[in-house]
Structure 1
Amino acid sequence: MEAIMNINGFINGLVWGPPMLILIVGAGLFLSVKTGFFSLTKLGYILKNTLLKMFSKESKGEGEVTAFQAVATALAATVGTGNIAGVATAIALGGPGAVFWMWFAAILGMTTKYAEVVLAVNFREKTEDGRFVGGPMYYITNGLNMKWLAIIFAIFGAFAAFGIGNMVQSNSVAAALETSFGVAPLVTGLVLAVLTALVIIGGIKRIGAFTEKLVPFMAAIYIAGGLIIILMNAAKIPAAFGLIFSSAFTGHAAVGGFAGATLARALRYGVARGVFTNEAGLGSAPIAHAAATTDHPVRQGLWGVFEVFADTLVICSITALAIITSGVWEGGATGAALTTAAFDASLPGGGYIVSIGIVLFAFSTIVGWEYYGERCAEYLFGPKVNFIYRILWIPFVVVGAIGGLGFVWDLADTLNGLMAIPNLIGVLLLSGTVFKLTKEYFSKEKSK
């Protein structure tokens, strides 16, 4: 077993190492250049048609859930512990400069996520019982006729969900509640399992109805808390930005408990955390977007841009600025402990905001990733597997909370990274379809 774990550790290092990050960033750069960086040049239009229409019930076209319910489900799965602990780890290992490269990855990731969503809606299928299913396995099959590659993605996704989307998250919740409130991990796991069951048994419609309420609520609590910390240290904001930009290209020398970081470390950890938090390129989010009610793939694709914008450029940036302006990043702490220290240093009891954020973010991820894994399993075995997958999902919430099955956890992390390979092959080979649909959509919008 030890030998197998060592092999898996080696493979995991390759999967999440520089080659994979170069592939993901390179794909994002190609798509951004070919679309004229529209995610930036048309950001005002995008936010007007997403953020300002967040709670609108108006929808044209076919689908199972509203456009916002689809993006809420995707955000529920995307906004997780990485936004709190992952950003802190990037700063602890790569220095403040890692934040710049996190932003860089997010800007390119907005176009990648857009392309994934456009393809997911364009190549989705309608099942016999009226459901809409889509994602990488469907646009690889229907767009490229490469079913073997789609099967590989679906296998990775169905299994990886149990680790990155389930056990990792429930373990984070258990740790946060035990540290802050003294709740036993087993109790946390059992309660989480019951709450998860109540949501996922109803399928995408219940998940969508739940996440459209939870996501704005949990984001508002954490953003408000983070902004309070930042405003309390307002005088240090200019220096924080100066530190971020200067360290991004020079690295940062050792200071206090911080061990120091080179330019290479800042770039690596910044890009890695950016990719890990917003999941652009991994192929997960388009599975949820494929169920959206929309009259054009690009219209839903705009929500993909918004998803990365909200996840990384807003929530992750708030975590980063709270940590840097508070000065605690120099103390040697890492992960959630560093974010907690930042909130506690500026606001009495601020650490409770972090604990609540971890609980809500992680729980929403458990719910969202169940849907991703279930759709992958359905692609492989048909609709009959859906209920079985949900039943299997629930006990793993408890297993994760008490810290069991570490090998499965590590293997799932590896498979999560491997999802990007078949997905990006599909996205890049079908990029012509994305460019064509984008040109078609904006030509019609311009003529209105």
Structure 2
Amino acid sequence: MESFNQFLLSLDGMLGSAAWFPYVLLGVGLFFTLYLGFPQIRYFKHAWLVVSGKLDKKGAPGDTTHFQALTTALSGTVGTGNIGGVAFAIFLGGPAALFWMWATAFLGMTTKFVEVTLSHKYRVKTEDGTMAGGPMYYMDRRLNMKWLAVAFAIATVISSFGTGNLPQINNIAQGMQATFGLEPMLTGGVLAVLLGLVILGGIHRIAKVTSKIVPFMSVLYVIGALAVILYNVENIGPAFASVISDAFTGSAAAGGFLGATIAYAFNRGVNRGLFSNEAGQGSAPIAHAAAKADEPVSEGMVSILEPFIDTIIICTLTGLVILSSGVWKEKFDNEFERADMMILAGQYEEQRDEDRHQLFLYLNKEEGHSVETFNGKIEVVAGKAVSRGFTIINARSIAEEVVFSVDAKEDLYTGTLNVVDGRLQKDNILVSGKSLVHSAQLTTLAFTRGFFGDYGQYIVSIGLLLFAFSTAIAWSYYGDRAMTYLLGPRSVMPYRVFYVAGFFWASFSDTTLVWNLAAVAIVVMTLPNLFGIMVLHKEMKETVNEYWRDFKDKQAKDKA
């Protein structure tokens, strides 16, 4: 697993974490924002009118209402990215990461408008009478690029596991274990059965379930977040100030947080922003293709609301909870995951400026540091290291009060541990102590720093359960539409079986491994879609202009 994780990190380094990717993603959004005249602002009010159903036409083809399409797409985006993803971004890049998530969402509102409009325009009715759409259909039917459509559909199937399936249940199981002490395998087993029961009903059952879950879970989460933000109201001003200022200076060391460069915060913020709102990824168009509408632009306008609700509102609340509570720079007792842990040669201390500077350069992948990984042996007696000459880094922080145990924390280890290139060679050794934490665990801790006290963690656990479960439901639909395109309707049932099985497996697998898999899958799906919508930029503008001409003509006739 560790070798596979390193392989995923290498891929991510060439794709989502590469310096060029954020510029491509934001560049496409910026281009369409200017080219279409800031549609995310000009059409925002109109989008709410469409969602309300006031502009609906009777007999319009489709399977779901505008609202159901929106909630299905939102259930695919409002998930662990809003709870664990925001925490992960701040953990990596500091407060500045939230600023770049905002920028990604603002430009992403336009990107989503474009991809949904074009995908809805070229949707088809399948053999079973349901609607099917998504970027693969405009790539095939309009661009005549069957190869690109097939590549996108394959990437969608992979991404349905890497984005909507594996990280969702992983975060649910982690949260339920931390809060209620439930075994991850038990959580995964129960929810896998429920997932199977829902997705077997197809888009009609999926739409009914998500249209109930999304509003309820959003209200619950907002109440819990405000309880923390208002409790720490004196920290809101400094939190906002740090988000803005750090975006242009980088985040300095604070507490256990060793700092982040501008480039690192920018990359992580954009990357996590995409994971959260999926603008440009091409997933939401698949849900919107089922909407009852004969004007593609009207459904595209509905999608403008998704990044706004998902990132501008919900992710901002999560970010303010984490920043105002201060937990992002505090160390907590936790069990170290191997993928998060590295053993360095030499002894480093946070109190020494030069040590912090060296670790800052090393962790941010900057040149000029002299940090090297440790190779050698560590002597341990009753769980405590008695040899010197090394430093354990866990979750990008210097670990403290480290304890080595065998299989269970109660069985303290005594003996010699071999370390090669900073990695322990014994798989059965558990390492625990104090360090920074990330993902859902960090958000859970932040929610205990409000008016609800320790009960706040239950809001996160329930919110995480509902958010992530609904995301898994929505992504199963994205995957089965991609399978329908690739192999026909008969391939859907085998896909659903594998989807549910993967959901169960991920409940007890390594969290960092899952997040790294998701990071790779997202980019593999995004690039073909961004290419496709750029090629069709002129058609997009013509389609929008035609919509407004027809809309104004209809208004004139109604008045007459």
Per the TM superposition, whether the score is higher than 0.5 is yes
1:19 aligned partner: 20
In structure 1, the residue corresponding to 2:255 is in which secondary structure? Answer: coil
- The answer as to 2:378 corresponding to 1:379 is no
Q: Separation in 2 of the partners of 1:218 and 1:224?
A: 10
Structure 1 distance, partners of 2:135, 2:226, is 37
Query: Do the aligned partners of residues 404 and 318 (structure 1) sit closer, same or farther apart at CA in structure 2, a change above 3 Å counting?
Result: closer
Give the letter aligned to residue 291 of structure 2: A
**Equivalence for 2:460:** 354
Q: Which has the higher strand share?
A: 2
Structure 1 contact 5–407 (Cα < 8 Å) conserved = yes
Higher mean displacement: 296-305 or 342-351: 342-351
Letter in 1 for 2:502: F
Looking at structure 2, the residues matched to 16 and 43 of structure 1 have their Cα atoms a distance apart, in angstroms, of 30
CA drift of 1:412 comes to: 5.9
User: What is the match of residue 259 of structure 1?
Assistant: 258
Instruction: Find out whether 1:83 has 2:78 as its counterpart.
Output: no
Q: Unaligned regions of 5+ residues in structure 1, if any?
A: none
Distance in 2, Cα, partners of 1:59 & 1:372: 27
Q: Distance in 2 between matches of 1:341 and 1:405?
A: 17
* Correspondence for 2:406: none
| 1:305-320 equivalence runs, <5 A | 305-320=304-319
Letter of the structure 2 residue corresponding to residue 184 of structure 1: E
Q: How far apart are the structure 1 equivalents of 2:4 and 2:446?
A: 39
The question of whether the paired residues in 2 share the 8 Å contact of 1:120 and 1:290 is answered with yes
Q: Report the structure, 1 or 2, having the larger helix content.
A: 1
For residue 439 of structure 1, what is the aligned residue in structure 2? 545
SS at match of 2:182: coil
Paired residue for 1:363? 469
Percentage of pairs with the same residue = 46
TM-score, with structure 1 as normaliser: 0.94
Q: How far 1:402 moved relative to its partner?
A: 2.2
Please give the TM-score of this superposition, normalised by the length of structure 2: 0.76
5+ long unaligned stretches in structure 2:
331-435, 556-560
Distance 1:234 1:443, change over 3 A: farther
Deviates more, 1:108-117 or 1:128-137: 128-137
> Shift of the alpha carbon at 1:57?
8.6
Q: Which residue of 2 aligns with 1:337?
A: 441
> Which has the higher relative contact order, 1 or 2, with Cα contacts under 8 A spaced 6 or more apart?
1
The code of the aligned residue for 2:77 comes to T
Kindly provide the CA deviation profile for residues 236-271 of structure 1, in whole angstroms up to 9, marking residues without a partner as x: 323322221111111221121221222222212221
2:113 aligned with 1:9: no
Work out the number of aligned pairs and report it. Answer: 446
Q: Paired residue for 1:429?
A: 535
* 1:32 maps to 2:33: yes
- The separation in 2 between residues aligned to 1:2 and 1:249, in whole angstroms, is 35
Q: Does 1:128 align with 2:124?
A: no
1:197: how far off? 1.1
Q: What is the distance in 1 between the residues matched to 2:326 and 2:515? A: 33
Whole-angstrom CA distance in 2 between matches of 1:329 and 1:5? 25
Q: How far is 1:373 from its partner?
A: 0.9
1:56–1:352 Cα change, 3 Å = farther
Give the alignment of 1:236-255 within 5 angstroms. Answer: 236-255=235-254
Structure 1 residues 54 and 265: CA distance shift in structure 2, 3 A? farther
Do the aligned residues in 2 keep the contact of 1:174 with 1:188 (CA within 8 Å)?
Answer: yes
Match of 1:327 in 2: 326
List aligned pairs for 1:264-303, cutoff 5 A: 264-303=263-302
CA shift, 1:311, in A, is: 0.5
2-structure distance, mates of 1:244, 1:412:
26
Q: Tell me, yes or no, if the aligned pair for 1:65 and 1:208 is still in contact at 8 Å.
A: yes
TM-aligned CA distance change 1:59 to 1:183, over 3 Å = farther
Q: Could you tell me how far 1:48 is from its partner in structure 2?
A: 4.1
Amino acid at match of 2:492: N
Structure 1 residues 345, 412: closer, same or farther in 2, change over 3 A? closer
Partner of 2:166: 167
SS state at 1:344 partner: coil
Q: Residues 402-413 of structure 1 correspond to what in structure 2 (within 5 A)?
A: 402-403=508-509, 413=519
* Residues 1:116 and 2:220 aligned together: no
Give the whole-Å Cα distance in 2 for the aligned partners of 1:55 and 1:217: 23
- Mapped partners of 2:152, 2:125: distance in 1: 20
Contact persistence 1:59–1:67 (CA under 8 A): no
Post-superposition offset of 1:47: 3.3
The one-letter amino acid paired with 2:503 is V
Give CA-to-partner distance per residue, 1:374-429, whole Å, 9 cap, x none: 11111110111112212222222211112279989855642332111111111111
Instruction: Answer yes or no: is the 8 Å Cα contact 1:161–1:412 preserved in 2.
Output: no
Q: CA RMSD in A?
A: 2.2
Give the SS at the match of 1:165: coil
Q: Contact conserved, 2:127 with 2:489, CA < 8 A, in 1?
A: no
